[in-house]
Amino acid sequence: MKQKKLIVGNWKMNPQTGAVAGKIFDGIKKGIVTFKNTDVAMCPPVIFIPELSKKLSAATILGVQNVSASKEGAFTGEISIGMLAQFKVKYVILGHSERREMGETDFMISKKVESALNAKLSVILCVGEKERDEECTYLEMLRLQIENSLLNIPKGLLSKLVIAYEPVWAIGEKATGRIDPAGLLEIVIFIRKVLSGIYDQETAHSLKILYGGSVDEKNSEGFMKEGGVAGLLVGRASLNPKKFIEIVKIAENL
């Protein structure tokens, strides 16, 4: 059976009002209503989740950009998994490079992954190196990041795990380079090799791997068609319904 593609929109700390968030959501929902082969998840700031949950349709899935590993208690500013259940949230992005830059460690991320998977949330675990070097030591860094972020995660919980590869050096205005589909395929093979070492080959090949790194409607086809990924984690372009719908359309037709 053909595996469905997954396109995830990470809105980050955008937009600034609920009215604009609703307009973006409605525009995307309208544009993807006929698509059947692609799952589409939108991850807005959590403050917009209650209103956007009222707009959900069969074609749309809600996700969040972070969640606490704790169920409740004295954790100022945190959002628990239980708080999200009433809003039909199904996905959570964990380990994003921007969160890691704020101080999240692999150990902290592994606790969040464990809590989210146990609560039946689908986890998009982000991994990726900050820079590359000629000696390829970045591969060892990537291996350790994957292993540590999945610490104590049993195979039985992996049916709801997705890996998103996001090379920090290839993202945004400060990017020092760009990855091409052939280079991405090499990394996908490497990630599956690491996963095989942690679990087994069958499990490693069953997990979806996404790519996230300055993805737009112009380069998305190459990443999915030749890069060996099952979908994309889209940043800036996910705030533009026209561009985001085009990316979903490309995934739908592959």
The pLDDT value recorded for residue 78 is 96
The letter for the amino acid at 59 is A
| 40 touches 59 (CB < 8 A) | yes
| Active-site choice (96, 98, 114, 217) | 96
pTM score, whole prediction: 0.96
With cut-offs at 50, 70 and 90, classify the pLDDT of residue 1. Answer: low
Percent of the chain with pLDDT over 90: 91
> CA-to-CA distance for 133 and 138, rounded, in angstroms?
7
> CA-to-CA distance for 10 and 83, rounded, in angstroms?
20
Q: Is 96 annotated as catalytic?
A: yes
Q: Which CATH class is domain 5-68+77-253?
A: alpha beta
Instruction: Using the predicted structure, report yes or no on whether residue 170 has a pLDDT greater than 70.
Output: yes
Give pLDDT tens digits for 67-109: 999 999 999 999 999 999 999 999 999 999 999 999 999 999 9
Instruction: Using the predicted structure, report yes or no on whether residue 2 has a pLDDT greater than 90.
Output: no
Q: What is the DSSP string of 79-118?
A: --HHHHHTTTEEEEEES-HHHHHTT--HHHHHHHHHHHHH
Instruction: Using the predicted structure, report yes or no on whether residue 176 has a pLDDT greater than 80.
Output: no
Instruction: Using the predicted structure, report yes or no on whether residue 173 has a pLDDT greater than 90.
Output: no
Q: Which of these, 192, 194, 239, lies nearest to 215 by C-alpha position?
A: 239
With cut-offs at 50, 70 and 90, classify the pLDDT of residue 134. Answer: confident
> CA-to-CA distance for 13 and 99, rounded, in angstroms?
12
Query: How many DSSP H helices and E strands does the chain contain?
Result: 10, 8
The packing angle between helices 137-149 and 181-198, to 10°, is 50
| Active-site choice (114, 166, 217, 252) | 166
The pLDDT value recorded for residue 141 is 94
Tokens 């239980």 belong to residue: 82
Indicate the domain borders of the chain.
Answer: 5-68+77-253
Average pLDDT over the chain reads: 95
The dihedrals phi and psi of 94, each to the nearest 5 degrees, come to -130, 145
Q: Which token pair is 133?
A: 């070097």
The pLDDT value recorded for residue 112 is 98
Give pLDDT tens digits for 193-242: 999 999 999 999 999 999 998 899 999 999 999 999 999 999 999 999 99
Cis peptide before 15 (omega within 30 of 0): yes
The letter for the amino acid at 15 is P
| 210 touches 6 (CB < 8 A) | yes
Give pLDDT tens digits for 24-76: 999 999 999 999 999 999 999 999 999 999 999 989 999 999 999 999 999 99
Q: Is 205 annotated as catalytic?
A: no
The pLDDT value recorded for residue 193 is 98
